[in-house]
Amino acid sequence: MSGLFDTFTLKSITLRNRIGVSPMCQYSAVDGVPNDWHLVHLGSRAIGGAALVIAEATGVSPEGRISPGCTGLWNDAQAESWSRIAAFIAQHGAVPGIQIAHAGRKASALRPWDGDRSLTAEEGAWPTFGPSAIAFGGGLTQVPTAMTLDEIARVRQAFANAAKRALAAGFKWLELHYAHGYLAHSFLSPISNQRDDAYGGSFDNRARFAIETARAVRDVWPQELPLTVRLSCSDWIEGGWTIDESVALAQRLKSDGVDLIDCSSGGSSSDRTAMPVGPSWQVPFA
């Protein structure tokens, strides 16, 4: 059995130990640009000895942010600001990673400490998008626009563009956020996806957006660098996304160049009563 402080190699990247810092939203950016807060937050983890430091869910487009305070990678100014953070992490012996994301129907929300609800027009709300026109629920009452095929293609390209900027900024580990009820997960789950076209209905159709986006990113992300996916392995809701579907999707993503699945769960509904939260409760998914 491997020890916590043994090295781990994936593709051309070797981690100095088995300790990785998961992406943690900080809600502290301005216009998607990370700042000194992010430098200190992430850089201190590298100094502390972690082997892998993954920056927070970073929007591939302005409307893909969870909140106005979320980071982005849709323009070069954001990439330039990220570059000093990635360089600092690497300088102190850790591998700099970043998670790129689109919040889908859970976008346009207040920062958590300002209230768990959708923004109002007066607070600067922006249009949200999803596979179907179904609001998330709870405080997130904004009804998303069901995406057209052109909009799906545009977001897929936005992921690829963000991946290219991540590479230019110096990141060596890329994670696609397919979990927690955000856009890719909302395509996967029957709870949020009620389409009747090529992106809805069957497993193959619901998985199409996730697979096509991974392919588009793999085409621009170097083969020698890790490409990973964070997946909600179960919705914890009857009639939702399941662990068996997660296994099937993981097998397909592997064939399309994804190197690792970062296992999480839930997030497709505001109803969390069935989630057995406790120590190591998600370990069996891994």
- Which of 55, 105, 106, 103 minimizes the C-alpha distance to 81? 55
Catalytic residue among 27, 178, 182, 199: 182
Question: Does the annotation count 182 as an active-site position?
Answer: yes
d(CA 179, CA 254): 17
Which residues, in sequence order, are bridge partners of residue 229?
176, 261
**Assigned token pair, 37:** 């807060």
109 — phi, psi (to 5°)?
Answer: -120, 160
146 — phi, psi (to 5°)?
Answer: -65, 125
Q: What's the DSSP call for residue 238?
A: T
d(CA 235, CA 239): 9
Which residues, in sequence order, are bridge partners of residue 53?
21, 96
d(CA 50, CA 13): 14
Q: Would you call 68 helix, strand, or coil by DSSP?
A: coil
Q: Would you call 230 helix, strand, or coil by DSSP?
A: strand
Neighbours of 262 (CB within 10 A): 19
CA dist list (Å): 243 to 55, 97, 285: 26, 26, 7
- HSE-CB for 228 with a 13 A CA cutoff: 21
Q: Would you call 135 helix, strand, or coil by DSSP?
A: coil
**Contact by Cβ (8 Å): 60, 162:** yes
Write out the catalytic residue numbers.
182
